A and B are shown apart, each in its own frame.
Chain A
Amino acid sequence: MDAELVVDGNALAGVFGELFQHEMTIARGTCGGCGLVGPLAEARVYAEAPGAVARCPGCSSVLFTIVKGGGRYWLGFDQLRCLEIQAVD
């Protein structure tokens, strides 16, 4: 994989903002591949694909994918085992 083609979860903040009310780049995800826990902003993101593929920075497992097209979104969950989202009162 070409290192220069990879960005990170910060690049997903816009599409997250279309989908979620909460700020998802600071949500902490757990990788089912290696158990690493960290903010989605730190995921390695490959955005050159038809959609975006987010991989674990620890073990490179695919965490989730987001594809937008034809008037809808597809969210695929692979190794993203758990999401911890900060509650707002």
Chain B
Amino acid sequence: MARAALQRRLSWQLAEVVESIDETPRVRSIVLSAPDWQGHRAGQHVDVRLTAEDGYQAQRSYSIASAPDDHKLVLTVERLDDGEVSPYLVDELRPGDKLELRGPIGGYFAWDADTGGPLLLVGGGSGIVPLMSILRQRIASGSAAAVRLLASWRTSGDIIYATELERCAAVDGVEIVHTLTRESPAGWGGRIGRIDQAMLADVAWPAQTRGLSFVCGPTGLVEAVAAGLVGLGHEPGQIKTERFGPTGG
């Protein structure tokens, strides 16, 4: 457990943008080349720092979307229109641009292939990003852990990684469930409505499997899902949560 309990001294490093990928009109994935990067655990995040010409600095945390075994560093960022950092990352950043970052950060909301499963991953909106790192690592590592991902979106157009998630769903032991909260499109094969205890009763592993749950999203969703899982008999210690608020901008 040494890797979880002890960390190298955190220092800022320069990364170069290799590629940027439009995921949705509001969300972009940024592929980075960071020469000093030492690797990460699935679910961890980085701090990104921008410095204006007058020296003003703004710093935000972003989850890592790539798997450790991908051997590349990818962040996925949602534009918050009143944010100080995310509009620049989503709209302005181009391949060849440099970015100051430090990490990986956070040893709590992290999963290693040898931890096993079964795994329940529940995300709301861009809360799916660290869960995608875990899902990608589950697949890249060849882990046999059974995994179910339950993702909540406002509309079908908001779904991040939609094509990749379809491919993931074809992998043995991987199940993907989407739910939409603000529309009910014709022909929609997923679920409708906010995640509640009834939906969790259908989708979550039975409590007696003692599976591990990772829940990431806005505070309201995280609280509702954690309470729902506890209500179904899951042990609080088996539920890992990460809440993000407006400071994510």
Q: Are A7 and B7 in contact (CB under 8 A)?
A: no
Provide the bound-state CA to CA distance between A4 and B248, in Å.
11
Provide the bound-state CA to CA distance between A21 and B2, in Å.
12
Give the size category of A's interface with B: 20 to 34
Give the size category of B's interface with A: 20 to 34
Q: Are A14 and B243 in contact (CB under 8 A)?
A: no
Across-interface contacts of A23 in B (CB, < 8 A): 4-7, 107-108
Chain A 1-26: CB-based contact to B (< 8 A → 1; otherwise 0): 00111111111011001100111011
Residue of B with least CB distance to A41: B108
Total inter-chain residue pairs, C-beta < 8 Å = 87
Q: Are A14 and B7 in contact (CB under 8 A)?
A: no
Across-interface contacts of A10 in B (CB, < 8 A): 45, 106, 108-109, 242-243
Evaluate whether A6 and B245 lie within 8 angstroms (CB atoms) in the complex, with A23-B6, A25-B108, A39-B108 already known. Answer: yes
Does any Cβ of A come within 8 Å of B47's Cβ?
yes
Interface residues of A in 10-63 (CB under 8 A from B): 10-11, 13-14, 17-18, 21-23, 25-26, 39, 41-42, 47-48
CB distance from B12 to the nearest CB of A (A): 11
Partner of B107 from A14, A25, A47 at Cβ < 8 Å: A25
Provide the bound-state CA to CA distance between A42 and B242, in Å.
8
> Could you say which of A26, A48, A89 has the most chain B C-beta atoms within 10 Å of its C-beta?
A26
CB distance from B233 to the nearest CB of A (A): 19
CB distance from B119 to the nearest CB of A (A): 18
Which 9 pairs between the two chains have the least Cβ-Cβ distance? A41-B108, A23-B107, A17-B10, A13-B106, A86-B5, A25-B108, A13-B105, A88-B6, A8-B243
Which residues on B are within 8 Å of A, measured CB to CB? Answer: 1-2, 4-7, 9-10, 45, 47, 59, 61, 102, 105-109, 218-220, 223, 240-247
**Apart from A23-B6, A26-B4, 6 more pairs, CB < 8 Å:** A3-B219, A3-B223, A10-B45, A17-B7, A41-B242, A86-B1
What are 14 pairs between A and B in contact, CB < 8 Å? Answer: A3-B219, A7-B244, A8-B242, A10-B45, A11-B244, A14-B47, A21-B7, A23-B5, A25-B107, A41-B106, A41-B242, A47-B245, A88-B5, A88-B6
Which residues on A are within 8 Å of B, measured CB to CB? Answer: 3-11, 13-14, 17-18, 21-23, 25-26, 39, 41-42, 47-48, 86-89
